[in-house]
Amino acid sequence: MAEIYYLDNNATTRTDPAVIEAMAPYFGEKYFNASSIYSSAQYVRKDIEAAREEAAKFINADPKEVIFTSGGTESDNFAIKGIAYANSDKGRHIITSKIEHPAVLETCRYLEKNGWEITYLNVDKYGMVSPDELKKAIRKDTVLISIMYANNEIGTIEPIEEIGAIAREAGIYFHTDAVQVAGKIPIDVKKLNVDMLSLAAHKFHGPKGIGLFYLKKGVRIHSISQGGHQERSKRSGTENVPAIIGMAKACEIAGEHLKDTAGMAEIKALRDALEKGLLEKIPDIIINGHPEKRIDNTLNVCVKHIEGEAMLIHLDFDGICVSSGSACASGSLEPSHVLLALGLPHEIAHGSIRFSFSKYNTAADVKKVLEVMPGIVEKLRKMSPMWNERDKK
Ligand SMILES: *Cc1c(COP(=O)(O)O)cnc(C)c1O
């Protein structure tokens, strides 16, 4: 196989070999159902509870506040529908933002069709939610605020602690989708004032199909599934043991990596080198997202007068894996809802490319992009009517 330059770590990450190793016995000799009574199964139960402790430690929660789910999407659905259904006697108004992941936005739209009212907060040109705007949007019948911790497309980090304090004072439940933050910034649910938080293991070198839902003690929520009473009856179904063990290992490794300042700095240095190099080598580009309050691994650029998809395909010929707009939005011709919310015009938002790094990237990845991308842009611009018309406007 030709060389791959993987710069799409906000879509998914490579599973750490140590995670795969930790999972393997649970496909093999430790295959028992943790709900069974015999001792072989009870050892598996103990391993699940040890994994819960490890996952809880990662976000500074109590193990009893950790529910294992199938990933980010399920955790987001759980928070929003679970709160909406359990608190509809109090009110049917929810506040979120325009730049949330589809797992949040589509769940809100679904509720909207079923009698709930949703306020979608605007963001500024960097993708920041304004705490003042949020305060103004709060009503007597507001039951939930859901704002993401960091945006998956542009990396902007939202003022979650401040929003959490506002929600607490108003007595409204607060959920944050922290999927893009895990392994990038330490997460402390107590400091953040959150009632619920979503994580997905595959975004931080864990396996796919497993996630964490932090549910603070005392929150009034509906169960996501009824059945055999697993996960304290909140999410019934036989536990995905190998994946749970794998996620716990990924939490442990990510926790260690967060303390490794040199390792963390290297990811940022690679991202910054790519940003600097692109600005030097390609005229007429825009960097999206907040200049400082941005997760260190993410670089989103708009290359004016050409299409992101065309660039993506040409980069792929050279083995470079990136994303245009968001992976979940690709396949449609609409530009990214996130970039539009920043106020970018359609024709500029169409030219977006997202590079996202992980601990597995090296300087060779940056070098390769800087070698091939200026030529690709030049070639595409020559063919672009928008580029040839640009001076006549
Ligand atoms: C990837 C992602 C999700 C979805 O997580 P899955 O585990 O793939 O369902 C949700 N929110 C954000 C911000 C994401 O980046």
H or E element: which one contains 274?
Answer: helix 261-281
For helices 241-259 and 17-27, angle between their N-to-C axes, nearest 10 degrees: 160
pLDDT over 60 at 86, yes or no: yes
Q: E strands within 230-349?
A: 285-288, 298-303, 320-321
Which numbered atom of ligand 1 lies nearest the CA of 209? 7
The identity of residue 236, as a single letter, is S
9 lines ligand 1 (CB under 6 A): no
243 lines ligand 1 (CB under 6 A): no
Q: Which residues, at least 6 apart from 42, have a Cβ–Cβ distance to it below 8 Å?
A: 34, 36
Q: pLDDT-based confidence at 393, cuts 50/70/90?
A: low
Q: Per-residue pLDDT tens for 330-346?
A: 555 689 999 999 999 99
pLDDT over 70 at 329, yes or no: no
The pLDDT of residue 327 is 45
Which numbered atom of ligand 1 lies nearest the CA of 74? 9
Probe target for ligand 1 pocket from 73, 149, 338, with the most ligand atoms within 8 Å of CB: 73
Rounded distance from Cα 74 to ligand 1 centre (Å): 9
Q: Per-residue pLDDT tens for 250-278?
A: 999 999 999 999 999 999 999 999 999 99
323 lines ligand 1 (CB under 6 A): no
Characterize the bridge pairing of strands 196-200 and 93-97.
Answer: unpaired
Domains of the chain, by residue range, sit at 17-257, 261-392
Rounded distance from Cα 72 to ligand 1 centre (Å): 4
Residue from 76, 79, 124, 78 nearest 100 by CA: 76
Residues taking part in catalysis: 328
Q: What's the rounded mean pLDDT across residues 341-367?
A: 97
Q: What's the rounded mean pLDDT across residues 27-55?
A: 97
> Which three-class secondary structure state does DSSP give residue 356?
strand
Query: For 105-116, b where at least 16 C-beta lie within 10 A, e where not — what string?
Result: bbbbeebeeeeb
Which numbered atom of ligand 1 lies nearest the CA of 71? 7
146 lines ligand 1 (CB under 6 A): no
77 lines ligand 1 (CB under 6 A): no
Probe target for ligand 1 pocket from 180, 187, 196, 213, with the most ligand atoms within 8 Å of CB: 180
As a whole number of angstroms, the distance between CA 185 and CA 145 comes to: 22
Specify the DSSP class assigned to residue 126: T
The correct CATH number of 17-257 out of 3.20.20.80, 3.30.1490.20, 3.40.30.10, 3.40.640.10 is: 3.40.640.10
Is 163 in contact with 131 (CB distance < 8 Å)? yes
The pLDDT of residue 387 is 76
Question: Structure pTM?
Answer: 0.96
Q: pLDDT-based confidence at 388, cuts 50/70/90?
A: confident
Is 202 in contact with 69 (CB distance < 8 Å)? no
Q: Which residues, at least 6 apart from 259, have a Cβ–Cβ distance to it below 8 Å?
A: none
Helix (H) and strand (E) counts in the chain: 14, 12
180 lines ligand 1 (CB under 6 A): yes
pLDDT cut 70: percent of the chain above it: 97
The pLDDT of residue 205 is 98
The pLDDT of residue 385 is 78
Q: What's the rounded mean pLDDT across residues 5-26?
A: 98
The pLDDT of residue 71 is 98
> Which three-class secondary structure state does DSSP give residue 70?
coil
As a whole number of angstroms, the distance between CA 235 and CA 194 comes to: 20
As a whole number of angstroms, the distance between CA 129 and CA 146 comes to: 11
71 lines ligand 1 (CB under 6 A): yes
Q: E strands within the chain?
A: 5-6, 66-69, 93-97, 117-121, 142-146, 173-177, 196-200, 211-215, 285-288, 298-303, 320-321, 352-356
The pLDDT of residue 332 is 59
The pLDDT of residue 60 is 98
> Which three-class secondary structure state does DSSP give residue 304?
coil
As a whole number of angstroms, the distance between CA 14 and CA 331 comes to: 24
Average pLDDT value for the chain:
95
The identity of residue 108, as a single letter, is C
pLDDT over 80 at 325, yes or no: no
Helix, strand, coil content of the chain in percent (nearest 5) = 45, 15, 40
Q: What's the rounded mean pLDDT across residues 194-209?
A: 98
The pLDDT of residue 122 is 98
The correct CATH number of 261-392 out of 3.40.50.10790, 3.40.50.2300, 3.90.1150.10, 3.30.420.40 is: 3.90.1150.10
Assess whether the region 17-257 and the region 261-392 belong to the same CATH fold: no
pLDDT over 90 at 386, yes or no: no
